Structure 1
Amino acid sequence: MSVCLLWLGLSALWQAADTQAAFTIDQVTLTVLPGNNVASGTNLILRCEAKVSHSLTQPLTYTFSFLQDDQLMYSKNTSASVVERSLSLARVFNSGRYQCAVRIYDKMKTSTSQALRVTGLQVPTLKVKSDIISEGEDIIATCSAPEETGGLSFYFYENDQEVKRVPSKSNSVTTTLTMQKLTDVYLHCVYVVIMHPDAGFSNKSNTVKVIVEDLDAIRPQISISPNANVVEGDRVQITCKVQYPSDLELFLTKGNTVLRQFHTTFTYSLTVRAEDSGDYVCKAEKGTVQRKTDYYLNVTELFSKPILRMRPDPVFEGERFTLTCRSTVSSQKIKKEDIKYTLLKEDRHINSGVDYFTTASLASNGKYSCVAVAKGVNKASQPLDLKAKVPVSTPVIRVIDKVIVGRPFKVSCEAENGTLPITYTLLKAHISLAERRVVEATDKALFSIDSISSPEEIYSFTCQAQNQGPSVSSTSQPLRAEVIVPVSKPVLEQRDITVTEGSDLTLKCLVQKGTYPIIFTWYHNRNPLSTQKVRSLEGSYIIKAIERDQRGDYYCEASNYNTEIKRSYPARIGVSLAVWKKALIGVFCILLLVAIVIVLTVFLKKMPSPRRKKQATELSVLRKTPRPKSGDPMRMSLTLDIEDNTILNGTPCVMGRNVWSENVSGSDSDDHTDVESELVHPQEVDPSKEVLLKKSTEPEYSGQHTEAQMSTPGVSEQAEGQAALEYAQLNNSEQEAA
């Protein structure tokens, strides 16, 4: 179809180049004459007609294309509007769907498809090269249908049973048929059209009889002389005879072995041995036909096949061994002494006699055999492949990976020389712990050891190897390997201490044991500071010019060779102020104290004298008056003053002392020198005296209390300060009087 369209396209281009015209293809009609269903051999006409409307004066050029099953079968350029295509003697091959396409310039129109069905197949003809054949001979047969076209598939039948199927691109085929029966056979053939299998099979061809001749005349005969029961060493003749004149093959076989082959009668001679006993077959063959006859020959053994033995077995290098060759007499024709023995090594003679002695070594290795000969009969033993075993050498015990105290580890035991299999035994202090048997060269003797408690314990392990050689067993040297001792719990040398700000702090981390190198890591409040790898049991870390924010908890960790990390107990390090800072604070406090004293002195000097006397009198009255209850205003005022002085006592400047007032004399003197007396500690009042004062002055206390509460705020604060000072002086005077 694609080829057709391409051709039509090229044709359209050619026409378009001619001229341009106004036209239209109205209709394209395909007609099959005389009809769409015809018998085989009918002459058919395919008629294609095109109806076109156009405006041209000159005739149009039409391109007619006939297609069978979408394949271009015929094409023609013409000015006629009708084209016919003849199909002479139509056959089944011509069946199919037909269409007609018309192209004018660049326009094309296709007819509706028409189905053509041609029925009826020609009866085939069967011929054979020869209708008389011998059994096993092939038949050459030819089946043909000369009037058919297209590819055909031929079927051959023997007595109505299909024996062969042969496809052909032509209308005839010749093939070879192999007959399996001895009787006469009847052959015929049929065919089908490959492109139209729905048309069915053709009618049967003529039947051909083929006569098959029997070939029993080629059956051979066999004879053995002098007889079928002989003894080893006898000469025997086997005759294979056939009466058929020629054109065949004659075979003498024993088992699957062809002893002789010829095309006519022959004789086969041999000196028999025990292994020659068995069935002998004489076989005649012509084509695919075979005829055979068999005969059994029994050969009595003269002596047995020799056996080569070695003692001891196995043998190790350096050991003496013996090779012995022996046969057993089986016939009365010979005696034991009549048998002669020969020992061979690599097919070379090395000894005559029954026994052979030598020492096993690398040179003695090889393939040995022996031959026994008597009365012209010789028999060889099975070969003996001697390979002296190598005694196991002293094994070497090694550590796999590394040894850590307290952890499991593995060791290997290996002997450099020694024939497998080798049994390895792990020993500790000469006591067996485990065994491993190595049978392949790729295997290794590996042992697992739970642990050791000290490095010296590693020397208690040895291994033993044995392979049943002359030395029986061999023991290795003690295991030697580097033993890693995990670090003990580290100790931080410093305890809870306080250091001065700005000084250097050295942190030392110590362990009692551990294999070098040891990794020490220091931490401050769980934050890593530094890591040190040393070859000693002690590591140190120096904090230069320590600062206040570096105080806190310090600890260290220690580890080695990826063992468990051990951590020390923490130590709390305090950092005190630097000396210069303390001195600066002291100077500041002294200056502050001096300033306070100066201010108080100036303040007291400026205070009027009568006012001080009045405050002294009030203070005396207060001293004689009982203590007010917790809700009284005066008690609250006095308590507040005392608490304020206590707060002052807690300041760094006062350094823990309570200063209430300046020391003055017991009288109401106005002398300012007495007012600027030294600071004194407050004295506690005798409770008994305090009670008497409370009782005697209770009426007066109420009035004075009212007076004190009614004082103005400014004067009250000054009075309270002066009153506190005078109260201290009065209290001191009373204690001295007492």
Structure 2
Amino acid sequence: MSVCLLWLGLSALWQAADIHAAVTIDQVTLTVLPASNVESGTEVIFRCEASVSQSLSQSLTYSFRLLQDDQVVYAENISASVMEHSLSSVRVSNSGHYKCSVHIYNKHKMSDVLSLSVTGLQIPTLKVKSDIVSEGEDIIATCSASEEIGSLVFYFYENDLEVKRVKSNGNSVKTILTTQKVTEIYLRCAYIVMMHSNAGFSNKSNMVKVIVRDLDAITPQISISPKGNVVEGDRVQITCMVKYPSDLELYLTKNITILHKSHTTFTKSLVVRAEDSGDYVCKAEKGSVQKKAVYTLHVAELFSKPILRMSPEEVFEGDRFNLTCSSNVTSSVKIGKADIKYVLLKDGGRIKEDAEYEDTASPATNGKYYCMAMAKEVNKTSSPHDVKAKVPVSAPVICAVDEVIVGKPFRVSCEAESGTLPINYTLLKTHVPVAHRTVVTAADRAIFNVTFISFPEDINTFTCRAYNRGSSFSRTSEPLTSPVIVPVSRPVLETKEDTISEGSDLTLICRVQQGTYPITFTWYHNRVILRPSIKEVRSSEGRHVIKAIKREQRGNYYCEASNYASETKESDPAKIDVSLALWKQAVIGLLCILLLVAIVIVLIFFCKRVSHPRRRKQETELSVKPSRPKSGDPMRISLTLDIEDNTVLNGTPGVMGRNVWSGNASGSDSDDPPDEDSKLVQPQEVGLCREVPVTKSIEHHYSVQHTEVQVSTPGVLEQADGQAALEYAQLNNSEQGPA
């Protein structure tokens, strides 16, 4: 049972969810009747209609909202799909952009924007509290447009001229208008709607006439007694009166000063002086209305304003000065010159009751002096005279403002520690004036430009002279003393030798002839600075040592010198050559010797290889030459081939060969001379292939004494070979004897 109830409950919920989900708002339409552009006062009906689709036919609740410029102006929850809202009499304030929204369950939809434009403003109504007012009295006016709604701005006009504008959150406003004119005025008003200023101004209201009455009753009168000539010291009575003193204020003024104030008639008494001459005004004031009367008073001088004079006009401390006070009698009928009494004052205190004062100028006498003249209760004070004793100028001090460098311009200042301005300064060189300056303010200084000095000692030739009361009272300073910087001269780079062995230390000496210490030296190698080589020394020379110099460090060296003169000078370059180290030279020499020996060995070996085949060839071509042996020695045949190279005069090479048979007395290699039978004989024609009988054992000895090989022409070679064969046959024949 409980399960069934649960099922029914869930089913109901699902059905409700299905119902909600099945509702959709198709369209919301907003219309306005009779039209979107209407005149003011027309009845307008807004009609909002919702088109809804739903799955079940049942009653729905529609929540309608009517909005004007995104502000809700009307809302209604109904069961109908159409809502109407009526405005019985629209005004300009009802103009705007309207929209209608509809809510059903969780569905929401908005209509398109509909514009309503209302034209025409109500004519306002103007009322005043009283149409008859007195001069200066306020006018209370009320302007209203009872049918308008919204915030309005009201404009008030006086004789068609705008005199005031007032903002109001309602359709009516009350204000106060003030007028100063004694006449009839005509008032009107108009308005605009603040939120719809494009609607323009309304028509002007009805015209209200207001009469402004003149307040002659408060017009004052002024009188002064005695009348006629008034002289300083006379007492005068000034009376200010009004006929109807009711609710008003009465003033007596001179220039912008109020002398007296009252609510009724009054009299002012005073002893006048010459400065009391002028216009006296009696003014009556009620509200914003003012009435006045003017009287001009002329007061003649009894005596003139005293004048304080000082002699001399300027004094220095220690000088005597004199002060004199004097005044002239103007009205001789009233007083004489002896009737005027004088009092001298300093800084407000009396110093002497006399017209003259004498003293010695000093800091104690400095101050403001003035005098006062008195006669017949009239006191007159002179203008103040400032007495300040001038201070004589002290001996000035001369000093250099800039660094002093020989050959360059610099500035010097001349200044006295004490002395009243203005002070005149003169710069002197060797006691001759060269420039002048006048210092008139404490912030100013006497600065002189000096072109240059040639030597450091020239600095002491400058002095300065100052005076402030005449050249005869001048003071002269001590000579100028200041450090003088001498620029460095062109440096010279020195080295012990131009060529140095690799691995040795190279010392570079940079020397200048002149220049103020400290001097900074810098060394360069091939235009590149040597680091670290910048040295600041208090000497005229600087040294830089290159340890264990290398071959790549050869080249051009130079140095630069500079000091506080900020002028750098460069030396001429010095060329340094770096030779090889001794051990490297020895190694190279040894290597060269070894290389030469190797070359010789290779050449010898090559020559032997080339000459060995040629020798074999020559030995095969040798002929055997028998020699007559000595008694008791075996026969020994020795073959000698001499080849001589001859060169003809025309440079054509020729070869001549000759075969010589020589016999030795013995088969040994002794140097015994041969016998006569071994001499050469005339050759005879014999056959080249003739056999030579040998009866004894012969020892063949082949000896090559001399060999020269030279390329020759074939003809010459053939001739040489024939000649050799002929000699060979002749020798054989001579040895055999006659046939």
TM-score bracket for the superposition, by shorter chain length: 0.7 to 0.9
Give the structure 2 partner of residue 234 of structure 1. 234
> Is 1:75 paired with 2:78?
no
Instruction: Say what the alpha-carbon RMSD is for the aligned residues.
Output: 4.2
Mapping of residues 581-660 of structure 1, within 5 Å: none
Matched, 1:150 2:150: yes
Is 2:535 the partner of 1:537? no
Q: Within 1, Cα distance between the matches of 2:576 and 2:111?
A: 113
Mean alpha-carbon deviation: is it higher for 562-571 or for 356-365?
A: 562-571
Distance 2:112 2:489 in 1: 106
Which one of the candidate residues 557, 561, 566 is aligned to 1:558? 561
Structure 2: how far apart are the matches of 1:424 and 1:95?
A: 89
1:491 aligns with 2:495: no
Partner in structure 2 of residue 59 of structure 1: 59
2 CA distance for matches of 1:272 and 1:375?
A: 11
SS in 1 for 2:443: coil
1:291 Cα deviation after fit: 2.3
CA contact (8 A) 2:273 2:301 kept: yes
Structure 1 residue 101 displacement after superposition: 2.6
In structure 2, how many angstroms separate the alpha carbons of the residues matched to 1:32 and 1:548?
Answer: 110
Distance 2:119 2:579 in 1: 127
- Letter of the structure 2 residue corresponding to residue 414 of structure 1: E
**What residue is the counterpart of 2:102 in the other structure?**
102
2:519 equivalent in structure 1: 518
The within-5 A match list for 1:418-457 is 418-457=419-458
Distance 1:462 1:295 in 2: 72
Question: Do the aligned partners of 2:180 and 2:289 also contact (CA within 8 Å) in 1?
Answer: no
Query: C-alpha distance in 2, partners of 1:266/1:97?
Result: 71
What CA distance in whole angstroms lies between the structure 2 residues aligned with 1:587 and 1:611? Answer: 49
For residues 395 and 132 of structure 2, the distance between their equivalents in structure 1, rounded to whole angstroms, comes to 88
State the match for 2:473 in structure 1. 472
Shift of 1:417: 2.2
Q: Could you tell me how far 1:457 is from its partner in structure 2?
A: 0.5
| CA distance in structure 2 between the aligned counterparts of 1:244 and 1:306, rounded to whole angstroms | 47
Is the Cα–Cα contact under 8 Å of residues 218 and 242 in structure 1 kept in the other structure? yes
* Cross-structure match for 1:266: 266
Written as runs of structure 1 = structure 2, the 5 A alignment for 1:378-417 is 378-417=379-418
CA distance in 2, matches of 1:542, 1:568: 17
Query: Contact conserved, 1:137 with 1:288, CA < 8 A, in 2?
Result: yes
Q: Against the structure 1 CA distance between its residues 315 and 614, is the aligned structure 2 distance closer, same or farther, given a 3 Å change threshold? A: farther
Q: Quick one: structure 1 residues 103 and 432, their matched pair in 2 at CA, closer, same or farther if it must change by over 3 Å?
A: same
Shift of residue 109, structure 1, vs aligned partner: 4.0
Structure 2 gaps, min length 5: 1-15, 608-614, 616-637, 655-669, 672-707, 714-739
Deviations 1:301-326 (A, max 9, x none): 11111112223333333333222222
Paired position in structure 1 for 2:162: 162
Give SS of 1:458's match.
Answer: helix
C-alpha distance in structure 2 between counterparts of 1:233 and 1:58, whole Å: 114
Residue in structure 2 matched with residue 124 of structure 1 by the alignment: 124
Deviation at 1:173, TM superposition (A): 0.7
Preserved CA contact (<8 Å) 1:495 1:571: no
The DSSP-based 3-state class of the residue aligned with 1:337 is: helix
* Secondary structure of 2:457's aligned partner: helix
Partner of 2:701: none
The corresponding residue for 1:354 is 355
**Bigger helix share:** 1
Q: Is the 8 A contact 1:520 1:559 kept in 2?
A: yes
In the alignment, the residues of structure 2 paired with residue 552 and residue 47 of structure 1 have an alpha-carbon distance, to the nearest angstrom, of 109
User: In 2, distance between residues paired with 1:311 and 1:526?
Assistant: 78
Give the letter for the 1:59 counterpart.
Answer: S
| 1:225 equivalent in alignment to 2:225 | yes
Q: Secondary structure at the match of 1:188?
A: strand
Q: Deviations over 1:230-272 (max 9, x none)?
A: 1111111122222123222222222222222222221111111
8 A contact 1:499–1:576 mirrored in 2: yes
Secondary structure, counterpart of 2:142 in structure 1: strand
CA distance, structure 2, for counterparts of residue 99 and residue 203 of structure 1: 32
Output the amino acid matched with 1:242.
V
Tell me which residue corresponds to 2:22: 22
Deviation per CA, 1:548-601: give whole Å up to 9, x if none.
66665544332222533333334455667777888899999999999999999x
> 2:458 is paired with a residue of what secondary structure?
helix
- CA distance in 1 between counterparts of 2:69 and 2:246 reads 60
**SS of the counterpart of 2:329?**
coil
8 Å CA contact 1:395–1:415 kept in 2: the answer is yes
Q: What residue ranges of structure 1 are gaps of 5+ in the alignment? A: 1-15, 635-669, 672-706, 713-738
1:129 Cα offset (Å): 1.9
- For residues 370-385 of structure 1, what are the structure 2 equivalents within 5 Å? 370-385=371-386
1:139: how far off? 0.6
Q: Displacement, 1:25? A: 3.4
**Amino acid across the alignment from 1:104:** I
- Report which stretch shifted further, 500-509 or 75-84: 500-509
Q: SS state of the match for residue 167, structure 2?
A: strand
Q: State how far apart, in whole Å, the 2-side matches of 1:517 and 1:75 are.
A: 101
Query: Separation in 2 of the partners of 1:494 and 1:92?
Result: 111
Q: Is the 8 A contact 2:406 2:454 kept in 1?
A: yes
* TM-score computed with the length of structure 1 as normaliser: 0.73
Whole-angstrom CA distance in 2 between matches of 1:159 and 1:594: 141
CA contact (8 A) 1:370 1:380 kept: yes
8 Å CA contact 2:280–2:295 kept in 1: the answer is yes
* Alpha-carbon separation, structure 2, partners of 1:417 and 1:558: 45
2:535 maps to amino acid = Q
Residues 496, 572 of structure 1: 8 Å contact kept = no
Indicate how the Cα distance of structure 1 residues 154 and 568 shifts in structure 2: closer, same or farther if over 3 A, else same. Answer: closer
Q: CA deviation at 1:365?
A: 2.4
**Residue 571 of structure 2 corresponds to residue 568 of structure 1:** yes
**Matched residue type, 2:283:** K
Distance 1:329 1:542, change over 3 A: same
The CA distance in 1 between the partners of 2:573 and 2:179, in whole Å, is: 109
The structural deviation recorded for 1:398 is: 1.8
Question: What is the CA–CA distance in structure 2 between the aligned matches of 1:323 and 1:232, rounded to whole Å?
Answer: 27
Separation of aligned partners in 1, 2:90 and 2:602: 151
Write the deviation string for residues 657-689 of structure 1: whole angstroms up to 9, x where unpaired: xxxxxxxxxxxxx99xxxxxxxxxxxxxxxxxx
Rounded Cα–Cα distance in structure 2 between residues aligned with 1:110 and 1:599: 119
- Mapped to 1, the partners of 2:640 and 2:549 lie a distance apart of 56
Provide the residue aligned with 1:645 in structure 2.
Answer: none
Cα distance 1:550–1:150, how it changes in 2: closer, same or farther (>3 A)? closer
Q: State the distance in 1 between where 2:529 and 2:183 align.
A: 109
Report the CA distance shift for 1:614/1:494 in structure 2 as closer, same or farther (over 3 A).
farther
CA–CA distance in 1 between the matches of 2:211 and 2:600?
163
Aligned residues: 617
Q: What's 1:243 paired with?
A: 243
> 2:561 and 2:135 mapped to 1: Cα distance?
103
Task: Determine what percentage of the aligned residue pairs are the same residue.
Answer: 66
Distance 2:198 2:558 in 1: 102
Mark the CA change 1:340 to 1:27 in structure 2 (over 3 Å): closer, same or farther: same
